[in-house]
Every structure is written in C-alpha cells, then in structure tokens.
Amino acid sequence: MIDLSIKIGHLNMKNPVMTASGTFGYGEEYRDFLDLGRLGGIVVKAVTGNNRDGNAYPRMAETPSGMLNSVGLQNKGVDYFVKEIYPLIKDFDTNVIVNISGSTIEEYVAVAEKINELENIPAIELNISCPNVKQGGMAFGTISSTATEVTAAVRKVYKKDLIVKLSPNVTSIQEMAKAVVDGGADIISLINTLLGMAIDADKRRPVLSTVTGGLSGPAIKPVALRMVWQVSKAVKVPVIGMGGIMNATDAIEFILAGASAVQVGTANFIDPGVTMKIVEGIEAWCGLHKVGSVKELVGGLIS
Amino acid sequence: MIDLSIKIGHLNMKNPVMTASGTFGYGEEYRDFLDLGRLGGIVVKAVTGNNRDGNAYPRMAETPSGMLNSVGLQNKGVDYFVKEIYPLIKDFDTNVIVNISGSTIEEYVAVAEKINELENIPAIELNISCPNVKQGGMAFGTISSTATEVTAAVRKVYKKDLIVKLSPNVTSIQEMAKAVVDGGADIISLINTLLGMAIDADKRRPVLSTVTGGLSGPAIKPVALRMVWQVSKAVKVPVIGMGGIMNATDAIEFILAGASAVQVGTANFIDPGVTMKIVEGIEAWCGLHKVGSVKELVGGLIS
Amino acid sequence: MSGKKILHDLVVLKNEHLNKWHFILELQAPELLPQFLPGQFVQVLVKDSPSTFLRRPFSIHGFDPVKNTIRLLIQIKGEGTSHLSLLREGDKLNVMYPLGNSFTLPSGKNVLLVGGGCGVAPLLFLARWLKEQDVKVTILTGWKRKEDIFEKDVYLQCGEVLVTTENGSEGEMGMVTSHTIFKSDRTFDRIYCCGPDRMMKAVAHMAKRKGIDCEVSLENTMACGFGVCLCCITPTNHGNQRVCMEGPVFSTKELGW
Amino acid sequence: MSGKKILHDLVVLKNEHLNKWHFILELQAPELLPQFLPGQFVQVLVKDSPSTFLRRPFSIHGFDPVKNTIRLLIQIKGEGTSHLSLLREGDKLNVMYPLGNSFTLPSGKNVLLVGGGCGVAPLLFLARWLKEQDVKVTILTGWKRKEDIFEKDVYLQCGEVLVTTENGSEGEMGMVTSHTIFKSDRTFDRIYCCGPDRMMKAVAHMAKRKGIDCEVSLENTMACGFGVCLCCITPTNHGNQRVCMEGPVFSTKELGW
Ligand SMILES: Cc1cc2nc3c(=O)[nH]c(=O)nc-3n(C[C@H](O)[C@H](O)[C@H](O)COP(=O)(O)OP(=O)(O)OC[C@H]3O[C@@H](n4cnc5c(N)ncnc54)[C@H](O)[C@@H]3O)c2cc1C
Ligand SMILES: Cc1cc2nc3c(=O)[nH]c(=O)nc-3n(C[C@H](O)[C@H](O)[C@H](O)COP(=O)(O)OP(=O)(O)OC[C@H]3O[C@@H](n4cnc5c(N)ncnc54)[C@H](O)[C@@H]3O)c2cc1C
Ligand SMILES: Cc1cc2nc3c(=O)[nH]c(=O)nc-3n(C[C@H](O)[C@H](O)[C@H](O)COP(=O)(O)O)c2cc1C
Ligand SMILES: Cc1cc2nc3c(=O)[nH]c(=O)nc-3n(C[C@H](O)[C@H](O)[C@H](O)COP(=O)(O)O)c2cc1C
Ligand code: FES
Ligand code: FES
C-alpha cells in the first residue's frame, strides 16, 4: 500500500492533488466526471466583497500550449456565497478551500471574516495576484510591503489555515514569499497566471477585451517549477505548487521541486477527469519507483 | 510594390526581420539555408571580455512549446572576436550587430570600446538580462538603477547605435525600459528568456546542470507581446520585439504591438530557413491587407 | 436541462468532404448516446495538432439514435479543423457531450430557419425535429456561389428551401439578410437563426420590427464548454450568462438585440 | 567536412517494425542524396506530436545511393519517436542532413564494433563501409533476450557476430561489457562503440588498458543539430566541442575517457 496522504498546516489530505481556483467552479459541474471525495482538496473560485460582473467578452485566447483569460473575478459576492453556495458544497468529502480576493485591504478582511464563520471551510486562499483587476489585484501581489500588510490584516481575523497565493509577475518570488510569511501565512501556493497578451493580426486588435490577461497551462510550467523550487528553499512554510500540470509526471516534478501538494487548473477544461488520472498516476509512479509514501518525495530532488 | 524597409535609430534595414543573439551563431552555419543579405539584420552571439567556457552539459531541456537553455555565454572573448570573427562577418550584406555581455560594468565598457572601433558593426545590443550567469547578468537587468548605470557607462564610450535588451524577469518592464532610456539607450530590444526550470522525474534531478535556465519559444510569446506593448507605450525610443516568433503572423503581432523590427530566435533551430519565410510572409500579408509599407503597421493596433 | 455529461472515444464512420472548406464527420459511440436536442453541441479533442490546446466546440448537425451516431458539419478555419478534416474511417475522436441548452418549440406551427455560412450546422437537426412536431418549416440559407451549396436535398425533405448566393448563380442574389422574404408580408411564429453575429443581429432586428419571436445560437469562444471557466459569457437582461450552459441558444429578447 | 546542409521532405517507403520498441524507417529523397558517411545523422521534424517542439536526431543506419534512400533505426522512447512509429507508407517527413562528422578508418585491418541497445543504429552502416575498405569486422551486440535480437543476418554479411543477452537465452549471458572477448587476448586495431554513456565509458576503459584505439558516438541532447545553439557540447582535451559538429564521433582520447 502506497501512502498518498499528506498534511499541510492543519489540512489532512487524502492525496496531494487539489483543483485550482477559477478552473473548477464550485465543484458541481465536475460531478459527472469524477468523485470529488477522491480529491485532496478543491479550491473554489474567487469570492469578493460584493457582486462582480467580471470583464467584457472576449475573455479568452488560446496560445501555444496555454491560454489567456481575463474573467476578472466574476462572482456574486461573499454574502451570496455564504447563503447560496456554501450549503451546496459544505458536505463534500474533501477539503473545500475558498479563494478570496478584493480591491482593498478592507474588502479582503471583510470576506475573510465571513468565511471564517463557515465551519466546513478549513482554509482560505488569499488571491493577492490576479492580474485581471485593475485596482488592487496587481499591486498587492507585486509589492512586498503591501503583500505583508494584506496578509497580516487577514491573519488578524482569520483563525484557520491561511494560504497566500503568489503572483509570478515579480522580480523576486522569494522576496514575496518571505513577505507573506512575515504577514502570517501558514501555507504558500503558487503560481497564479503570468501576465500576457494575444493579438488577432487579421483584425489588428487585441483578442481580449482587457488587452492583457493571465497565461496558464503547460507553457508556464517551467516558470512555475522554478518559482516553487525557489520559494520552497526560501521559506519554511509548506508550499502548494501549480502551473501547467497536465498529468502525474508533471505533478511529481512539482513535488520534487518542493511542493507538498499541487493544484490542477487549466487541464480540467480539456479533461474534466484529469485529477483522478493524476491521483492514480502518482500512486503508480510511487509503486514503480518503490516510494512508500508521497511525503518522501517532497523536495526530494537530487542535485 | 510593398515597402518592407524600416529605419530604427541610424540603422537602415531592408525589412524588419532580424535574428536573435545566441540562436544564429555568427551567421556562417546558416549560409546553406538562406541568403544573409535578405535579412534586416543579424545579432551575433554574446561577446564578453574574456574567454568563457559556459556552463556544463546538459544545457538544454525541451518544454511544452519551448525550450530551456543554460549555455552561459560560451565565447572566446572580445579580442578573439575582433581578430578572428569580425573579418569573416564584416562584409555580410546586412546589419551585423554584436550582443555584448559582462559580469561587471568595467567588462561591458571594455567590450563596447573595442566593438566601437569596428567599422562595419553599426550597433551593439547590450545583454543586461542573461539569467544564466550567476554574477552580473541577473542583477543588471532586474534593478532599474543598475540598468541605468551600465547603460550610461557604455553610452559614454560607444558612439553608434546602442540597443539595450531587457530581461522579462521583472515586476515592471516599463520601469526597466525607462531606466535604460535614462541611461542613453537608442533602441530597446525585448524579451530575453524567462527564468525557468525542468525536472526529470524518473531521475529525480533537474535536467539542466545549472538547475535553472532561460525559457524561449512560442510558450513565451504572450508574455513577450504584452511587454513589447507596454514598453512601446512607455518610452519614445524604437523597440525591437522578440519571443516565440515562429512565422509571419507572429512577427506582425509584435509589430502591431509596437515593435519596429523583430528578432527570430529559437525558431531558427527548427527551421533554419524560417526567417526568409517570415520576410516573404510579411510581404504577402501586407499585400492581402493593402498595406503599402510595413512602417504603417508599427503600433497599429486598433484598441 | 441536459443530462449527465460524458467523455467518450467515438469512432469515425465516415468523413465526407462536401467542398474545399466543409466536411461532415459521422461518429459512432461505444455506448448508447443520450437523447440529443437540436442546438446542443459537443467538445472535441484534437490530438495531433501541436497548436490546438483546448477542445473545439461543434453543434450537432445530425443525430441518429438507431445507428447510435452523431454528425458534425465542420468548416475548416484553422489548425484544429484542418486536422479534423484529415481523419480517416476507424480513427477515434475524444468527445464530450451533451453540452448546452437547445432550441425551443414555437408558439405556432410556422417557422423560418435562417443560416449563413457554417451557421447551417445546427439547423438541419432543428428542421427535422420541428417537422416531427408538425411544424411547417421554411429554410433560408446563404452561400457565396451555386457550387458551394450542399445538402439542399435533405433540407428539401423538411420544408421549403430558399437560397441566396452572393453572385446570384442560384436563388436570389445577395446576402440572406437581404432576401425578399423579409420585405414580403409573409409572417412566422418564430425565426431561428445561426451564423456570424452581424448576420444574426440583422435578422433579429428585422424579426423585432415584424414582432416575430427569434432564437439565435451563439458561438462565443470557449475554454471549457461545460460551465466552469466563465470565458464564454454574453450579457443578457438577467446578467452575464454562460453561452455553453445557459446557451448556446438565446431568445434575442434576452440578449437585448 | 560534411557537405552543404539540406532540408527536404523525404517520403516514407517503408516502416518496418522489428519488435515492440524498434522500427526502421526507409526514406526516399526527391533529389540526389549526398554521399553519407557512417556516424553522420539527420534531424527529423515530428509534425503531429503536440509535445515535440524540437527536431529529433537519428543516426544513418543504412544508406542506399542507388535507391536514393536512407534507413533510420529508431527506438521508441517518448512522444516524438511514438509518433514516428505510426508513419505510413507515402507519408512525408521533413529531414535535415547531412549532419555531424563520421567514423574514421583504423590504422590496421582488424576492428571490433560494440553496440548496446539502440546504439547499434550507426554500426550497420559503419560495418558495411569498413568491409568495403577490406577491414575485417567483428561485431558485438548486447540484448535483453533472444527474442529482442534483430538484423543479425545483415550483420553476419559484414563479419563475425558476437552476442550477449541479459538472460543468457542467446550468446553469452550478461552485458556487452562483460563479454569474454574483452578478457581474451584477441586484439584489434580499433574499437568502435555506440550506446549508453556508461557502457561506452566501460568499453573505452578496457580499450585503453589494452592500448587499443577507440572511437565512440555520443548522443548528447540537441536543440539545433547544426552547430548554432551550443547546447550539445562535450568537454574534450581541446575545450568544449559541439557533438553535432565536431562530433558525434570522438576518439576516447579526446574525451579523456
Ligand atoms: C457552441 C459552438 C458551436 C459551434 N458549432 C460549429 C459547427 O457546427 N461547425 C463549425 O464548423 N464550427 C462550429 N463552431 C465554431 C468552431 O468551434 C470553430 O470554428 C473552431 O473551433 C475553429 O478551430 P480551429 O482550430 O480550426 O481554428 P483556430 O485556429 O482556433 O481559429 C481560426 C480562426 O477562427 C476564429 N475562431 C475560432 N473559434 C471561433 C469561434 N468560436 N467563433 C468565431 N471565430 C472563431 C479564430 O479567431 C481564428 O481567427 C461552433 C462554436 C461554438 C462555440
Ligand atoms: C546524434 C544522435 C544520434 C541518435 N541516433 C539515434 C538512432 O539512430 N536511433 C534512436 O532510436 N535514437 C537515436 N538517438 C536518440 C534519439 O534522438 C532520442 O531517443 C529521441 O530524440 C527521443 O525522442 P522522443 O520524443 O521519443 O523522446 P522524449 O520524449 O524527448 O524523451 C524520452 C526520454 O528519452 C530521453 N532522451 C531524449 N533524447 C535523448 C538523448 N539524445 N540522449 C539520451 N536520452 C534522451 C529523455 O530524457 C526522456 O527521458 C540519437 C541521438 C543523437 C543526439
Ligand atoms: C479561467 C481561469 C480563471 C481563474 N480564476 C482564478 C481565481 O479566481 N482566483 C485565483 O487565485 N486564480 C485563478 N486562476 C488561476 C489558476 O488558479 C492557476 O493559478 C493558474 O491557472 C495556473 O495553473 P494551471 O496552469 O494549471 O491552470 C484562474 C485561471 C483560469 C485559467
Ligand atoms: C540557445 C540560446 C542562446 C541564447 N543566447 C543569448 C545570448 O548570448 N545573448 C542574448 O542576449 N540572448 C540570448 N538568447 C536569447 C534570445 O536571443 C532571445 O531573446 C530569446 O530566445 C527569445 O526569443 P525566441 O523565443 O524567439 O527564441 C539565447 C537563446 C537561446 C535559445
Ligand atoms: S466555455 Fe467555460 S464556462 Fe462556457
Ligand atoms: S545541437 Fe546546437 S550546437 Fe549542437
């Protein structure tokens, strides 16, 4: 028997495979394709203080081995979430984590306070990195002092596990990691999307209504792996790695680079059952390589 | 007749298609595949103050729609270049530009001074961004004050066109662009490679001897386009765009985003004749879209 | 609305090239197909195209519950559709279905279907379905030239067929939107329309003026196709709606067209 | 050394599967092929594999100037070679050639060729070439099991063939490097060796002890294959050398092995 379980912070996970915020809805749409109870955790899409319509269409551009999105945090706000969504998801047999976002520190704090009351939500993931929203989003995740500040403010009101999700659009990811640990982060997750742009040459226009958007998918995997490796060496808190994971080998690469768990994002769009294959693939890989517990692999790079 | 010619700084180019440093050797190896005289320009690989052996093998990893390299500026130094290489390339019927690199400001200045003496080299490209060399490279291109400083120092001794090539591994590419313009750059080129990493899961080892390396190819195109667009709006000097260009449409996207010329890098490895196809493709595209001169396209995004 | 979503490897029974730019894939499922409704679509994985990362959405053009097959009418646009055009009999294709809502029944028994370009794809299935419900169907399709026209015979089995060609080589000369039927006093209980946005908006506009109900099928670009990415949204009078879930079929009233 | 480099679409004449993991592609050129030398290689573009970005290098396994064909012996390793294994007669393949240096003639007339795994690829061409120059060839190859052995008959046409299998089902049991020939007092004017680095190093070591000249063919990973990227370098006693230009064939003395 191979032991796939992992503990990060206070989160007990059946296996290290989670789903990434914004790519898994509230889990509901995936029920046709997989058993949510077999996931290590799911991170639901960003919740903000109030209703947000998000950005105008078009919000998507396909790129080589990836895609750009500029969804822009479309959601109905935290009160709607607490009242309408939480009851639907609170009994999922997995760790249900809420990704929260805001334009001001006050908004982050307000949302965190309300989520803190929800018994079956063991952790929040602070999205200080979404590049789609003009105000706030960009700045929090790219200036270390601001990152510390927002983390500390949320830390004060949030009593359970506080995951902070880093933006890759920075000169030094280690500096950002240290900044959020200083602010009180229990866990770091990374990477969010790289800021990119697509142009439709024939129409002579940007493809996205917002001109720029967030790049995800296998194209960003090398950057993500590098950052996970750098961060896991720079800080002591556990790291959740993501960026372009399409299969079990990719997941194992992130774990070897230092991640205690991984999140799968864009791959879910192409194969909504991919996370199950990744769980099974990690198990098979461990069997083949005579690894008894996936814990042994975390940061297990020979270099 | 479609006019493909473009003037950037004092450089008169037959067309906007150049080759990127480190991907075109000294041009010699490409003679079997194309007529160098039909290129807008070629940027030869990095020249440093002294001989450098570069990094240990392995120096390359294939990644989704891209590759990582950690060649590490292998070259025989500026004196060898002046004596042995320059005579071979000085009569190429195109703009031959020398990419220069160093670990200290003194090294940059020393190399620039020597290249300044070479009559048939109309410009240098200052590589302040190579992520492969531990000392120097990283810092120059990622701290704006240092970028200004090295540019200004070279500016003092270099009398012809000074191109400064930016690193994409920064929080604000606009800030870096302004910094090198402040230092006296005539032209900005971007992007150099994104810092990334590859892992061989089965061997549990990083693929590259240096662990991290520079990501190039189509995977980085969305990031490159975004940065070219941002920089061309932030500064007044002309911009040379690159990053993942594989065909004429890609090249036109960069021109629409604000580039006056483009450089083709990794694509040359896969199809050494690709630059000729790009030149012809731009001409055909202009014909189809009734564009009389490629100059009209520069920054010609409707947004 | 739609049932449980499935991912399956379907087998290519036939790849029929209609003209240079259009072909029909007939695909057979290993298990019983769900009861598809007209307007629904599938998401196809294009495996062997290096530049095709996401799935590609295509409407159900035909559905044969007896043969357990679906037919997709595909226009070659870029890399993905080019690769699909090369599929051979026996090849497998990974497909997700059933996706999206569907066209609805009209209040009366007399409708007009308008298709421009590849917009005809969902209309054949719709026409057959309407005919089964005893609705009288008139089908108006627009083409570049007479030589481009395909499948006219099968449409004729469903009702009256009107045609426009840009060069006038068959039917009326011009675009579908300038067909005399819109200027005539013929009226319908509903107009169903698929095609480029501009064409659909023009038809919606004419329908509105005549007070005719109108349903259109949108083709917003999609990342997932099953409601999770929020990339395909369209603004409606009740907020942003997902074209892949609440659509692709919308009444033009909802869209405020 | 090598002539003008060319990019051409070659036609697949035959795709012969030798066993589960090995196949031979016979490729015909539209124009006269250059006079290939043993040890040289080609760079192949794998078009329909989404995860294969760079070209893939393969040694010339056979060269027939009359039929104007080359043969590549390919081992399935990952995505690229899997896709190549599916090629059918008549398919086209974009290939760059001729690349690299080549094996050289020995000082005497009695040589040993050692190949492990897919390292046999360049040895057949080499064996035939040596035989044409009246060199006496002994060929030692290593395999997992008797069933895996292929092309023994063609090697027999070139000289004596020695075999090792890991399970002893044919020839000597063990690895090539433990074959008794290395312990015997047989001597050679040169040993040529291809295979995994570790195997080549072991052979080089034994050759050195016996004072026998040794040439090996390296398979460093390559981005370009024609000398411009500097990714494929190997350290030698005259500095870093490009395996794709100054190699792939090196004398083990140069390599300091
Ligand atoms: C719900 C739905 C149903 C559809 N049904 C059909 C159908 O039955 N038959 C059919 O042929 N096509 C249909 N389409 C459109 C089809 O999905 C696209 O043409 C196809 O994905 C293009 O793929 P490609 O790789 O060949 O082109 P790409 O290389 O991806 O694109 C080529 C060009 O087409 C444009 N393009 C791509 N997708 C779309 C789109 N969705 N809308 C507008 N422009 C686009 C791109 O911007 C680009 O300019 C449908 C789309 C949707 C959303
Ligand atoms: C000069 C030269 C000549 C060669 N000749 C032959 C030949 O005649 N026949 C043959 O079958 N192969 C030969 N090879 C090796 C062949 O190029 C690789 O096996 C092939 O590129 C793998 O492609 P892939 O996409 O199937 O595997 P990938 O998916 O790219 O890789 C699969 C696995 O193989 C490893 N791998 C890939 N390339 C190499 C390499 N060059 N060396 C070591 N490990 C590698 C990867 O690290 C990975 O673990 C040669 C290589 C070189 C450099
Ligand atoms: C359509 C889309 C929407 C996303 N929305 C969010 C979000 O709301 N909050 C967030 O923190 N990250 C969001 N992300 C980022 C992902 O969670 C993830 O960090 C990123 O996509 C990289 O992983 P991947 O390459 O596996 O997709 C979104 C990504 C996509 C593609
Ligand atoms: C193998 C390799 C070597 C490179 N060497 C250099 C170099 O010496 N100096 C430099 O400024 N850029 C160097 N680059 C970066 C390229 O010039 C270019 O900026 C980058 O590859 C992005 O363009 P591309 O995606 O078209 O390759 C190198 C890139 C590669 C792939
Ligand atoms: S395409 Fe993803 S929600 Fe519609
Ligand atoms: S592979 Fe590029 S120099 Fe050898």
Residues A155 and D94: their CA atoms lie apart, in Å, by 58
Point out the residue among C224, C233, C235 whose CB comes nearest to the CB of A269.
Answer: C224
User: In tens digits, what is the pLDDT along chain D, a chain of 257 residues?
Assistant: 457 999 999 999 999 999 889 999 999 999 999 999 999 999 999 998 888 999 999 999 999 999 999 999 999 999 999 999 999 999 999 999 999 999 999 988 999 999 987 788 999 999 999 999 999 999 999 998 998 889 888 999 999 999 999 998 989 999 999 898 888 888 899 999 999 999 999 999 999 999 999 999 999 999 999 999 999 999 999 999 999 999 999 999 999 99
What are the residue ranges of CATH 3.40.50.80 in chain D? 110-255
- HEC assignment per residue over A68-104: EECCCCCECCHHHHHHHHHHHHCCCCCEEEEEECCCC
Query: What's the rounded mean pLDDT across residues A216-238?
Result: 98
- pLDDT for A131: 46
- One of 3.30.70.1380, 3.40.50.80, 1.10.150.20, 3.40.50.720 is the CATH number of C110-255, namely 3.40.50.80
> Which DSSP string do the residues of C91-111 spell out, in sequence order?
-EEEEEEEES------SSSEE
**The residue to which tokens 């907020």 are assigned:** C239
* Torsion angle defined by CA atoms of residues B12, B16, B20 and B24, in that order, rounded to the nearest 10 degrees: -80
Find the C28 Cα to ligand 4 centroid distance in Å.
Answer: 48
Distances (CA, A) of D158 to B228, D115, D123, D152, D155: 60, 15, 11, 10, 5
B273:D7 CB<8 A: yes
Q: How far is C223 from chain A (nearest CA, A)?
A: 6
| Angle formed at CA A65 by CA A64 and CA A67, multiple of 5 degrees | 80
Q: How far is C90 from chain D (nearest CA, A)?
A: 15
The gap from C-alpha B113 to its chain's centroid, in whole angstroms, comes to: 20
Q: Which of C77, C82, C102, C123 to mutate to test the pocket of ligand 1 (most atoms within 8 A of CB)?
A: C77
Sheet containing B194-197, strands listed edge to edge, beginning at the edge strand earlier in sequence: B60-63, B66-69, B212-216, B194-197
CATH class of residue range B6-54+73-198+215-297: alpha beta
| Encoded tokens for B137 | 């490279």
The runs of H, that is alpha helices, within B43-172 are: 78-80, 86-89, 105-116, 137-142, 144-157
Query: Which amino acid makes up residue A276?
Result: M
Give the ipTM.
0.96
User: Domain D6-99, CATH 2.40.30.10 — does that match?
Assistant: yes
- Percent composition of chain D: helix, strand, coil (DSSP 3-state, to 5): 20, 35, 40
| A11 strand-pairing partners | A8
Query: Which amino acid makes up residue C206?
Result: M
Q: How far is B190 from chain A (nearest CA, A)?
A: 14
- Chain A CB contacts of C225 under 8 Å are 269
Distances (CA, A) of A247 to A73, B204, B223, D82: 27, 16, 24, 18
The gap from C-alpha D68 to its chain's centroid, in whole angstroms, comes to: 20
| Chain C contact probe: residue of D45, D48, D94 with most C CBs at under 10 A | D48
Work out the end-to-end distance of chain C between its first and last CA atoms, rounded to an integer number of angstroms: 25
Radius of gyration for the alpha carbons in chain D, expressed in angstroms and rounded: 18
> Which DSSP string do the residues of D197-245 spell out, in sequence order?
HHHHHHHHHHHHHHT-EEEEE-----SSSSSSS--SEEEEBTEEEETTT
Find out whether B99 and B63 touch, Cβ atoms under 8 Å.
no
Residues D52 and D89: their CA atoms lie apart, in Å, by 22
| A188 strand-pairing partners | A164, A239
- pLDDT for C183: 87
Point out the residue among A215, A222, A249 whose CB comes nearest to the CB of B222.
Answer: A215
Query: What's the rounded mean pLDDT across residues A121-129?
Result: 94
B202-258 confidence digits (pLDDT tens): 999 999 999 999 999 999 999 999 999 999 999 999 999 999 999 999 999 999 999
φ, ψ for residue D215 (rounded to 5)? -115, 135
Rounded to two decimals, what is the model's pTM? 0.96
> Half-sphere exposure of D255 toward its Cβ, with a 13 Å CA cutoff?
24
Residues C234 and A57: their CA atoms lie apart, in Å, by 7
Query: What's the rounded mean pLDDT across residues B162-179?
Result: 96
Name the catalytic one among A68, A71, A126, A130.
A130
Catalytic-residue membership of A286: no
Find out whether C172 and C180 touch, Cβ atoms under 8 Å.
yes
Residues A153 and A162: their CA atoms lie apart, in Å, by 12
Find out whether A97 and A116 touch, Cβ atoms under 8 Å.
no
In this predicted structure, the answer to whether residue C45 has a pLDDT above a threshold of 70 is yes
> Half-sphere exposure of C179 toward its Cβ, with a 13 Å CA cutoff?
27
Residue C129, Cβ density class (10 Å: 0-12 exposed, 13-18 middle, ≥19 buried): buried
Angle between helical axes of A248-257 and A221-234 (0-180°, round to 10): 30
Residues C142 and B176: their CA atoms lie apart, in Å, by 54
Residues B228 and B250: their CA atoms lie apart, in Å, by 13
